[in-house]
Amino acid sequence: MLETEANLGLNQKMNKIGIGLVGCGTVGSGLIRNLPKANPLIGERLGVNLEIRAVAVKDPSKARETLPVPVVADWKKVIADPAVQIVVELVGGTDEAFRISEASLKAGKPLVTANKALLAERGRELLSLAQQSGNPIYFEASVAGGIPVIKVLREGLVANQLLGLHGIINGTSNYILSRMAEAGSDFQTALQQAKDLGYAETDDRLDVDGIDAAHKAAILCLLAYGFLPVFTDIPVEGIRHVSAQEVSFARQLGYVIKLLAVIRPVGSDRVEVRVAPTLLPSRHPMASVHGAFNAIGLIGNLAGPVQLTGRGAGPDATSSALLADLAEAAKNLHDKSPGPLLPKADGKIRLIGKGESVGRFYVRLEVEDRPGVLALVAGIFGAEKIGISSVLQPEGHGAGSVPLVFLLEAAAESSLHKAVALITKLPNCRAPARILRVEDLS
């Protein structure tokens, strides 16, 4: 009995994997807090244990009572520490984060990161380094927090050809749009509520202008199609211009507005990737994803439609994803496995060109309140071969103008913009058109 216990203790000691943490803000603190609770489960399920052995932060003088090891300012010391076998990068941004990641891979240490900007904007360089060094990168925490979408793409749907992905992948924007729909708030009021609750940063541009969602969309494109688009080529539109009036009209038409990321193949060698506020049918499951929650829909040729919903941010949800990556990385080290491979493309895949996107659209006009205007506008749409599926013309707006709202049939984006340009030149048109995407997700 004593010999068995001694052997068990020796094996547990041998199976401990040392972690080096670079950056310890909200996410890093959540990881440290949750690691002791997760370690027994990881040990039981995978036969490895994780141990934080080095931490680097910009200012070690700040009190961090939860940190289990001495803290240094120089991240190079963490990577050089022989007790550190896996490096976790949590500093954010792209420049310093890239240097940390590069150093980790060159030192022969697997990298775990939650940094979606790093992967989306400098992923080509980083993935090349990983291939050259033979060391894997794990990044489950970079997309949708506690939703294990990357593992679903890598493992659960590995036998499927992906026919498309779409998702609500920014919780701040989803909270704002939910408040506008549920409470009738205007954008600025809902944004301030999001800031008061800690969902939005003081500098809200990454969330509200769609940049954060576009970073995640680029990563999903990489996993689904083996193609990482040039980030600046992705069409991105945020929610600042979405008004309470738009939300109300969408409801009357049977839709809700969500900031939606769409990734879908177009033919055999092109992919559409975009982020934009989008009308979704109110009956669709994704329309019922409220507050700061995220949701991702995937369509496999074998599995059919799959929807994943959960908390997309926060220290606990993100640490869940980080711990999953750390556990996988530790298991692969213990088993001397090379780790996960990224899908390979033939190099011919590219983004569709500007204006080539085909889809349905919502268009709101402010026009002179007089007979014949509707027919005039409908004629211009017809001349561009754009069908009209619904028209909403509310009464009682006064001031000589009236909103005119159209739901259009599928059309090329270039044709839509040509028609709208002609309409806005009409003497009857009183304001620039408001255009939103429409996705039926059927």
Give the catalytic positions in this structure.
216
| Closest among 266, 263, 204 to 234, alpha carbons compared | 263
What is the three-class DSSP state of 28? Answer: helix
CA-atom Rg of the chain in angstroms: 25
How far, in Å, CA of 262 to CA of 163, rounded?
Answer: 11
Q: How far is CA 83 from CA 46, 106, 386, in A?
A: 21, 16, 64
- φ/ψ of 54, rounded to 5, equals -160, 145
Amino acid type, 129: L
- Strand positions, DSSP E, 282-399: 293-300, 304-311, 350-351, 358-368, 388-392
Coil, helix or strand at residue 276: strand
By residue count, the chain amounts to: 442
**CA-to-CA distance for 147 and 280, rounded, in angstroms?**
21
Tell me, letter by letter, the H, E, C secondary structure of 42-71.
HHHHHCCEEEEEEEECCCCCCCCCCCCCCE
Q: What share of the chain is helix, strand, coil (3-state, %, to 5)?
A: 40, 25, 35
If DSSP codes are grouped into helix, strand and coil, which group holds residue 17?
A: strand
- Sheet with 86-89, edge to edge strand ranges: 71-72, 49-56, 16-22, 86-89, 111-113, 137-138
Q: Comparing C-alpha atoms, which of 383, 387, 378, 380 is closest to residue 359?
A: 387
Report H helices in 52-186. Answer: 75-80, 95-106, 116-133, 149-151, 171-183
Structure tokens at 377: 């506008």
**Count of H-run helices and E-run strands, the chain:** 14, 17
Cα distance between residue 115 and residue 247, in whole Å = 32
